[in-house]
Amino acid sequence: MNVSSDPGTAINSLDLPGRADMHAARARIAPHAHITPVLSSRGINALAGAELHFKAENLQRVGAFKFRGACNAVFSLANDEASHGVITHSSGNHAAALALAARLRGVTARIVMPDNAPDVKKAAVVAYGGQIEFCKPTEKAREETVERLRESTPYALVHPFNDRRIIAGQATATAELLEQVPGLDAVITPVGGGGLLSGAGLAARGSGVAVFGAEPANADDAARSLAAGRIIPVEHPDTVADGLRTSLGPLTFALIQRDVRSILTVGEDDIIAAMRLLWERLKVVVEPSGAVPLAALMANGIPSGARRIGVILSGGNVDLKSLPWQ
């Protein structure tokens, strides 16, 4: 399903989350999620030529903003829906996030993962109590495996991004940031499937804060989709930013079309350099995807009119044995 190039028609036909959903998500996840700190570095500001405020979602539970959406989705379920457990297909941070959220609610999490997923990702899911079901590493196999499992047990499906509860949950990261640092001119987040970015747009809507997305040039489906006015999925993206290899879904695309100023793209070397700069100067462990916004700002220049910029550091899950600058 693609969204029409007429956003008015498209949006009216979709069940988009609103700001009330975001406020409800904030209250719902408050007992479980961290209010993550906002960090800054004079050295990075001098290099970037702007005042950057980094929202450290790498310090969120499971090491990524993904916990916000997963937690909101799982705790949104009615008792009878939740009772059978939840299911998703993911080889990334959403898998671990859903496993933890389910454990906190006391229900089962079935995680469909491709059989070639990295050991560290499998271990994270198992550590949070998730039950892994392996499948062939194709989108078709993932979806079929989910459907097969749901035939025997009515697990509640929680898609990684194309889900109004997920988007409302991810929006809480930006909502917090806007309160923690008043007077921002802009917010920039990475964009893969678009949950974090569409949530940022929702959180900033009506505030006058411009919202930007950033993605690898090698996985630039969001930039292409916005330019074309329809979703153009990226095929076999080759990028170090493993969290940004997915393409937009109808809900996230519609919100991004409505609320996001533009998408910046950046090359692989710049992503790795920005990641290293964050480790060296902010002293935090950020995964490649989380460094993409800083990389994009430094490579493209600061958007005009943006002096104080909020940057979401989306996650910090990385294999410390194999760092991309080595």
Gap between the Cα atoms of 250 and 256, Å rounded: 10
- Tell me the one-letter amino acid at 81: E
Report the phi/psi class of residue 49: left, alpha or beta, with left for phi > 0 and alpha for psi in -120 to 50: left
Q: At a CB cut-off of 8 Å and minimum separation 6, what does 24 contact?
A: 168
Residues near a second copy (CB under 8 A) are: 37, 39, 43, 56, 58-59, 63, 127, 276, 279-280, 282-286, 316, 320-321, 323, 325-326
Query: Could you tell me the smallest distance in angstroms from the CB atom of residue 181 to a second copy?
Result: 15
290: its two tokens: 């989380």
Closer CB to a second copy, 56 or 77, in the complex: 56
The answer to whether the CB of 85 falls within 8 A of the CB of 108 is yes
Gap between the Cα atoms of 225 and 73, Å rounded: 27
Query: Could you tell me the smallest distance in angstroms from the CB atom of residue 61 to a second copy?
Result: 8
Closer CB to a second copy, 37 or 301, in the complex: 37
Determine the 3-state secondary structure of 114 from DSSP. strand
Closer CB to a second copy, 196 or 263, in the complex: 196
Mapping DSSP onto H, E and C, the string for 210-259 reads EEEEEEEHHHCHHHHHHHHCCCCCCCCCCCCCHHHCCCCCHHHHHHHHHH
Query: Could you tell me the smallest distance in angstroms from the CB atom of residue 63 to a second copy?
Result: 6
Gap between the Cα atoms of 85 and 175, Å rounded: 29
Query: Could you tell me the smallest distance in angstroms from the CB atom of residue 318 to a second copy?
Result: 9
Query: Could you tell me the smallest distance in angstroms from the CB atom of residue 37 to a second copy?
Result: 5
Closer CB to a second copy, 202 or 278, in the complex: 278
Query: Could you tell me the smallest distance in angstroms from the CB atom of residue 261 to a second copy?
Result: 29
Closer CB to a second copy, 92 or 250, in the complex: 92
Closer CB to a second copy, 38 or 302, in the complex: 38
